[in-house]
Amino acid sequence: MELGRRQYGDLSQGRVNFVPFIYELHESLALGVLGVYTLGVIALAWTIDAFYALYLTMPRSTASFWRRWKPSWLVKPRAGVFRLNFDLHRAGGLWFWPLVLIFGWLSLMWNLPQVFSPVKGALFDTGAGRPTFLEQPKSSPRLSWREAQAIAERAMAEQAQQLGFTLREPGMFGYLPEVGVFLYGAQSSLDVQRRAWNTGVWIDGDTGALVDAFRPSGRHTGDTITWWLRALHFADVYGWMSYRLLVCAFGLVIVMLSVTDVYIWWKKRKARVAGIRRGLAATV
């Protein structure tokens, strides 16, 4: 007998869905696939703009480059309102530029993998990914869950012994009918994130054969970078409390960059319109 039902992120069902809705808003603007692609395009523009903005702060000549670039990293607090906004925008973008790029590139990975994956594959060594999808999902594997779990645990222990990493607590175990494998994940010394189980094995649901083993670091450069980006995005890196505080500050910096950007645009537009009007008046 069904006792209840809840639709993830549906605010009409009350406060219980408020946090899930905020997550949906963050992940896809609460617009489903359309929101995902929208954020993907924004992430692509964000990533390109990060490099263009960095270029704009650099001096045009390489002579005395560092001495001439130094003012771009500084803020003159006693300057006029426009100059103060300009300095905050430019210096804030420079000091937090690595995070700007990290968050933009990772958003591209999640929302526009059609762009992210080919670029990553061209630049770095990457793993083959998950097993191939079956033409017909295999809903009933021959192995029982207990048998498959025992085989998966042994396979994971063998991987740890062969490759020299330490296993911590198990984290997940399930069957994926679309690929016909059991997935077993555990925390290990290879994990970058604190609250994730990224080390695992795929076990054939019928034979128990090891299909593949995946590790978040130390195997493929591209995969290692990807898992590090994920951990940095969630501010979930072992022993990096200071980084979590930095990400918190980065959220405030993004607000500051947005406000100062709009203000600079408005002032320049106002000056441009005034110049056009003066030009028109001079021709009358």
What are the E-state strand segments in the chain?
Answer: 167-176, 181-188, 199-204, 210-214
235 domain residue, yes or no:
yes
82 domain residue, yes or no:
yes
Q: Give 195-232 as a 3 state SS string.
A: CCCCEEEEEECCCCCEEEEECCCCCCHHHHHHHHHHHH
Q: Which of 219, 242, 273 is the last residue of a domain?
A: 219
200 domain residue, yes or no:
yes
Q: What domain range includes position 115?
A: 21-125+222-284
How many angstroms separate the most distant Cα atoms in the chain?
90
226 in the same domain as 213: no
Give the SS3 label for residue 246: helix
274 in the same domain as 153: no
**pLDDT for the residue numbered 63:** 85
Q: At what angle do helices 97-111 and 81-95 cross, to 10 degrees?
A: 60
**pLDDT for the residue numbered 145:** 92
Cα 214 from Cα 163, distance rounded (Å): 12
Asked whether 111 and 39 are in contact (CB, 8 A), the reply is yes
Per-residue pLDDT of the chain (284 residues; tens, 9 = 90+): 767 777 777 777 878 888 888 988 888 888 889 999 999 999 999 999 999 999 999 998 888 899 999 999 999 888 889 999 999 999 999 999 999 998 988 888 889 888 888 888 888 877 755 677 777 888 889 999 999 999 999 999 999 999 889 888 888 899 999 989 999 999 888 888 877 778 899 999 999 999 988 888 877 888 888 888 888 888 887 667 788 889 999 999 999 999 999 999 999 998 888 888 877 777 76
| Long-range Cβ contact pairs of 77-82 (< 8 A, separation 24 or more) | 82/263, 82/264, 82/267
115 in the same domain as 233: yes
67 domain residue, yes or no:
yes
Q: At what angle do helices 81-95 and 33-57 cross, to 10 degrees?
A: 110
234 in the same domain as 201: no
Cα 61 from Cα 63, distance rounded (Å): 5
**pLDDT for the residue numbered 55:** 94
> Per the structure, how many domains does the chain have?
2
242 in the same domain as 166: no
232 in the same domain as 204: no
130 domain residue, yes or no:
no
Determine the distance from the C-alpha atom of residue 208 to the mean position of all C-alpha atoms in its chain, rounded to a whole number: 34
* Tokens representing residue 95 in the block: 């000091």
**pLDDT for the residue numbered 35:** 92
CB atoms within 10 A of CB 97: 15
DSSP string, 133-146: PPSS---S-SS-HH
104 in the same domain as 37: yes
Task: Count CA atoms within 13 Å of residue 74 on its CB side.
Answer: 10
201 domain residue, yes or no:
yes
Q: Which of 219, 243, 264 is the last residue of a domain?
A: 219
Asked whether 198 and 216 are in contact (CB, 8 A), the reply is yes
232 in the same domain as 106: yes
Asked whether 111 and 40 are in contact (CB, 8 A), the reply is yes
138 domain residue, yes or no:
no
109 in the same domain as 246: yes
**pLDDT for the residue numbered 278:** 79
